[in-house]
């Protein structure tokens, strides 16, 4: 796996915490030439960049970025390319929001914000990085989706819809860009103990660590997997989501989740 990332330049959105931070640290440990951490949380970004810089001097850059704004993303990619000597080999569109809310409580503004961050953010990154990857002869784009994209859950209609759209975009581009030596993969990172659970007040017992997720992601990308699925739970969900023989069981499972969430319980 190391040879796939060694001496490469990577950009990670949402890079100051959770899976994104774990990816940055692991890429550096695998010998990446340069890693750009993009995040909206400027304070956290500065702290983590400084920490990594002590171990990997000259290899880490932090850029405050609002992925919901195209000009922010384009400028970040430009700066990242300059830092990487004109190259970007990997783009991890990892930034995203969990968006837990009953449908009846959502507004058009909520929905626009949801798509701006979870869907258009990655789209802006792809548009900005493609000219660079084409000029250098290839690259790899990894879009962090979620198992909820194929197993939608109650009270997460915005999250489900945005991640399903991202899965569709990523799958289509994989084959559109294949012959240009630009790989495109969907990431299903698993239920991970990250700040995305802050809104619920508790992390599920089944959650894996960001490091476990990052290790699986990098291994799957090195193998050029179409959809990198980290956990067995998500693998089972992917297999059964649209399987006719599993329809009744899926209904029972998802209805149980909905009823628990309606009572204010954490259920996945």
Q: What structural domains does the chain harbor?
A: 2-231 (3.40.50.720)
Where would I find the beta strands (DSSP E) of 66-220? 90-93, 139-144, 182-188
- pLDDT computed for residue 198 by the predictor: 60
- pLDDT computed for residue 104 by the predictor: 97
Based on the residue annotation, tell me whether 124 is a catalytic residue of this protein: no
Instruction: Provide mean pLDDT across the span 16-36.
Output: 98
Instruction: Provide mean pLDDT across the span 42-49.
Output: 98
pLDDT, tens digit (0-9, with 9 covering 90-100), for 124-180: 999 999 999 999 999 999 999 999 999 999 999 999 999 999 999 999 999 999 999
Nearest to 62 by CA among 3, 14, 105: 14
Cα 233 to the center of its chain, rounded Å: 18
Instruction: Provide mean pLDDT across the span 12-20.
Output: 97
- Is the pLDDT confidence value at 193 over 90? no
Please check whether residue 202 is in contact with residue 266, taking contact to mean a CB–CB distance below 8 angstroms. yes
Please check whether residue 33 is in contact with residue 8, taking contact to mean a CB–CB distance below 8 angstroms. yes
Q: Which of 56, 159, 175, 253 is catalytic?
A: 159
Q: What is the mean pLDDT of the chain?
A: 95
Please check whether residue 195 is in contact with residue 18, taking contact to mean a CB–CB distance below 8 angstroms. yes
Instruction: Provide mean pLDDT across the span 78-104.
Output: 97
Nearest to 154 by CA among 261, 265, 263: 261
What is the distance between the alpha carbons of residues 177 and 117, in angstroms, rounded to a whole number? 23
What is the distance between the alpha carbons of residues 66 and 82, in angstroms, rounded to a whole number? 19
Q: pLDDT band for 197, please (50, 70, 90 cuts).
A: low
- Is the pLDDT confidence value at 199 over 60? no
- pLDDT computed for residue 225 by the predictor: 98
- Is the pLDDT confidence value at 189 over 80? yes
Instruction: Provide mean pLDDT across the span 183-211.
Output: 83
Please provide residue 203's backbone torsions phi and psi, each rounded to the nearest 5 degrees: -100, 135
Instruction: Provide mean pLDDT across the span 216-232.
Output: 98
Q: pLDDT band for 64, please (50, 70, 90 cuts).
A: very high
Give this prediction's pTM: 0.94
Q: Note the maximum CA span of the chain.
A: 55
The C-alpha R_g of the chain, in whole angstroms, comes to 18
């Amino acid at each position: 796996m190391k040879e796939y990332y060694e001496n490469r330049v990577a950009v990670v959105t949402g890079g100051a915490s959770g899976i994104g931070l774990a990816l940055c640290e692991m890429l550096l440990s695998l010998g990446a030439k340069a890693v750009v951490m993009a995040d909206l949380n400027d304070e956290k970004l500065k702290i983590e960049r400084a920490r990594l810089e002590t171990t990997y001097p000259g290899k880490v850059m932090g850029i405050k970025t609002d992925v919901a704004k195209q000009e922010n993303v384009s400028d970040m990619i430009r700066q990242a390319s300059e830092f990487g000597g004109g190259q970007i080999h990997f783009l991890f569109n990892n930034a995203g929001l969990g968006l837990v809310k009953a449908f009846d409580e959502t507004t058009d503004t909520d929905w626009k914000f949801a798509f701006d961050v979870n869907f258009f953010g990655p789209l802006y990154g792809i548009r900005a990085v493609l000219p660079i990857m084409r000029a250098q002869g290839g690259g790899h784009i990894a879009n962090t989706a979620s198992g909820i994209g194929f197993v939608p859950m109650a009270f997460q209609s915005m999250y489900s819809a945005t991640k399903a759209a991202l899965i569709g975009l990523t799958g289509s581009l994989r084959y559109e860009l294949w012959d240009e030596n630009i790989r495109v993969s969907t990431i299903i990172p698993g239920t991970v103990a990250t700040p995305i659970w802050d809104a619920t007040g508790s992390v599920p017992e089944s959650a894996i660590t960001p490091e476990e997720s990052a290790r699986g992601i990098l291994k799957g990308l090195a193998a050029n997997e179409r959809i990198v699925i980290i956990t067995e739970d998500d693998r089972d969900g992917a297999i059964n989501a649209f399987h006719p023989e599993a329809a009744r069981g899926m209904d029972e499972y998802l209805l149980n989740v909905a009823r628990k969430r309606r009572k204010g319980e954490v259920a996945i």
